[in-house]
A = this chain, B = another copy of it.
Amino acid sequence: MIRINRETDYATAILGVMAAEPDERFSASGLAARRGLPGPVVSKILKQLVRGGLLRSHRGAKGGYSLARDAGAISIAEVIMAMEGPIALTDCIEGGGEACQFHAHCVLSTNWSRINDAIYRALQDVSIKDMIEPLTDDHPGLRNLGRHVRDSLGGSAGQAKAFRFDHG
Residues on the B chain within 8 Å of A101, using CB: 36
Which of A6-14, A38-46, A47-55, A60-68 contacts the other chain? Answer: A6-14
Rounded to whole angstroms, the CA-CA distance of A6 and B1 in the bound complex is 11
B85 touches A1 (CB 8 A): yes
Interface residues of A: mostly helix, strand, loop or mixed? helix
Task: From known contacts A9-B90, A115-B122, infer whether A108 and B36 are also in contact, taking CB-CB under 8 Å.
Answer: no
- Determine the chain B residues whose CB is within 8 A of the CB of A114 once the complex forms: 142, 145
**Do B135 and A142 touch across chains, with their CB atoms under 8 A apart?**
no
A108-B16, A111-B131 known; A122 vs B118 contact (CB < 8 Å): yes
With A2-B2, A4-B2, A88-B3 as given contacts, are A13 and B115 in contact (CB-CB < 8 Å)?
no
Q: Is the CB of B9 within 8 A of A115?
A: no
Q: Are B110 and A134 in contact (CB under 8 A)?
A: yes
CA of A152 to CA of B122 in the docked complex: distance in angstroms?
Answer: 13
- The answer to whether A142 touches B115 (Cβ under 8 A) is yes
Determine which of B86, B88, B132 lies in contact with A107 in the assembled complex, contact meaning CB atoms within 8 Å. Answer: B132
* Minimum C-beta distance from A36 to chain B (A): 7
